[in-house]
Amino acid sequence: MSWYQNRNSKRGLWLSTPAFLLFMLVSVNVAAEPAPNAVQQPDLMAPAMAQAVVVPASGTPQASVAAPAPVDAAVSLPVPVTVPAPPATAPYSVGFDKINAGDTAWMLTSTALVLLMTIPGLALFYAGMVRKKNVLATALQSFTIVCLVTIIWVVLGYSLAFTPGASQFIGGLDRFMLHGMFYDKASSTLSVSHIAPSIPESVYVMFQLTFAIITPALITGAFAERMKFTAMVVFMTLWSLLVYAPVAHVMWEPSGLFATSGMLDFAGGTVVHINAGVAGLVCAYMLGSRRGYGREPFSPNNLIYTMIGAALLWVGWFGFNAGSAVASDGRAGMAMLVTQIATASAALTWMAIEWIRKSHATMLGACSGAVAGLVAITPASGFVGVGGALAIGLAAGFFCFWGATGLKHMLRVDDSLDVFGIHGVGGIVGAILTGVFADKALSGVDANLMLQVIGTVSTLIYSGVVTWIILLLVDAVIGLRVSEDDELDGLDISQHAERVI
């Protein structure tokens, strides 16, 4: 039994899957050759950690050491020097006075904004694009995922994603049921995450929860109009734990492999969008095309819903990107600015392409372009300036248009609402261009293009293969797809006994 099997033998069968082996193989290569300028989570931790002085439950106390006396010193007495405490490696407790009210206020706001992206943002965005007989079912999928992932997250997901584990691939079980997270008014202490030490841990748990919610919710667009509701619930439960949590850990937990290697993903281009995009593509392949696909028109039932949804996504994305600064500071302001610029740039690019190809711009195109820009700027939002944002927006508009049209036809897959074409392709464009346009003046780190590519490819492979295995399992036990009659009747009636008049 090899070293990793020994270490992970109790973690479940999935760790022995070919996908995980491949993921580890690629990852170990990355670890063996760290980026020359790699730093450990410099964007989030460095300034705040230097201020952490309270001895935590599981954190690291400030240290006092005696510095060696200089050789030519007249007096050879040791001089006591206080050095900053090394970064904490796990959640710990602090006094109320260590909590930054401004940061906390902004993170509470950001959390609400990101939740707004899923309900009602994404629910409306998707519901407007399906046929009338599937509107309720499509919106309900997003709503259900909000409830489902919330429970999964507090029980196990947060612990697996955002606490240090025995390996660089998955977190520990220390925070099972959010164990150890507390707020104690009597002693004026509360717990904070080592990743976000200036805000209460409860706020950080909630903020990251909204990311864990929207990622599987994005996938629903790929299998819209044909998946069983029960199968969707089981699939999303497994996917959240087996795909989202490990990928989030590897990328964002300071001990995670890509975090230590120096790969840049400010707000989730890889963790959220590439991850959801490729999972959506696999879902679309596994479920097969909708009945009549390619022969009948599948007209969107109400593009005003889609426009409202896209607008809510746009506004909510400020919480997503600027919130990922985990502070109410200048960097958050830059993230917000570049988000706006890239989104506008991508929407205009998409409409321009439509104008050239079809002689008209469309509402759906404008919304799609905007979302493409939002997706692509996500990993780069804390690292690039105005020029980079313009370029990323332009590239996102162009490549995502191709992804939702040309690539979709090449792949011969009924990705109902173009989840891969926009989120997958946009995420890849953003991840790679982050390596090109990242500005050291903004973040203090240099980007490594090769690392960005390796991280992107690893995530594509890991997420794709594990998603495929989960779908095989769910198909064998429950069955993925509704019957032909149910599909013809529409999911609103057949799955939920409701309909829109």
Partner 1 sequence: MNESEKLSVAGLISIALRRKLNRVIDVEWMLHNEDYAREVMRIARKQDMTELTHYAERMEELIFGKAAAVQSVPIAQDTKREPSTVNDVEDEVVIESQYIGALR
Burial class of residue 357 in the structure, from the number of CB atoms within 10 Å of its CB (0-12 exposed, 13-18 middle, 19+ buried): exposed
Q: Fill in the per-residue mask, 27 to 46: x = in contact with partner 1 (CB under 8 A), - = not in contact.
A: --------------------
Q: Does 416 bind partner 1 (CB under 8 A)?
A: yes
**Which of 147, 145, 152 lies closest to 229 in space, CA to CA?**
145
**What residues have CB less than 8 Å from 118, skipping those under 6 apart?**
142, 145, 146, 210, 213, 214, 217
**Orientation of helix 386-404 relative to helix 425-437, angle to 10°:** 150
Q: Select from 14, 298, 305, 437 the one that contacts partner 1 (CB under 8 A).
A: 298
* Number of residues that make up the chain: 501
User: Could you give the CA distance from residue 148 to residue 244 in angstroms, rounded to a whole number?
Assistant: 14
* Distance in Å, CB of 379 to partner 1, minimum: 23
Q: Select from 6, 295, 356, 410 the one that contacts partner 1 (CB under 8 A).
A: 295
Q: Does 291 bind partner 1 (CB under 8 A)?
A: yes
Q: Does 284 bind partner 1 (CB under 8 A)?
A: no
| Peptide bond preceding 86 in cis form (omega within 30 of 0) | no
Q: Does 227 bind partner 1 (CB under 8 A)?
A: no
* Distance in Å, CB of 10 to partner 1, minimum: 45
Assigned token pair, 486: 């149910």
Closest to partner 1 by CB, 356 vs 476, is: 356
Q: Does 110 bind partner 1 (CB under 8 A)?
A: no
Stretch that binds partner 1, among 138-146, 186-194, 292-300, 336-344 (CB under 8 A): 292-300
Residues 474-493 touching partner 1, rule: CB under 8 A, are 488
Closest to partner 1 by CB, 21 vs 363, is: 363
Assigned token pair, 380: 């780069």
Q: Does 296 bind partner 1 (CB under 8 A)?
A: yes
Stretch that binds partner 1, among 47-55, 323-331, 363-371, 460-468 (CB under 8 A): 363-371
* Distance in Å, CB of 401 to partner 1, minimum: 8
User: Could you give the CA distance from residue 112 to residue 114 in angstroms, rounded to a whole number?
Assistant: 6
132 in Cβ contact with 301 (< 8 Å): yes
- Residue 264 Cα distances to 94, 142, 202, 439, 451, angstroms: 29, 28, 25, 12, 9
Stretch that binds partner 1, among 134-142, 173-181, 288-296, 427-435 (CB under 8 A): 288-296
Residues contributing to the site for partner 1 (CB under 8 A): 129, 291-300, 364-365, 368, 401, 404-405, 408-409, 416-418, 421, 488
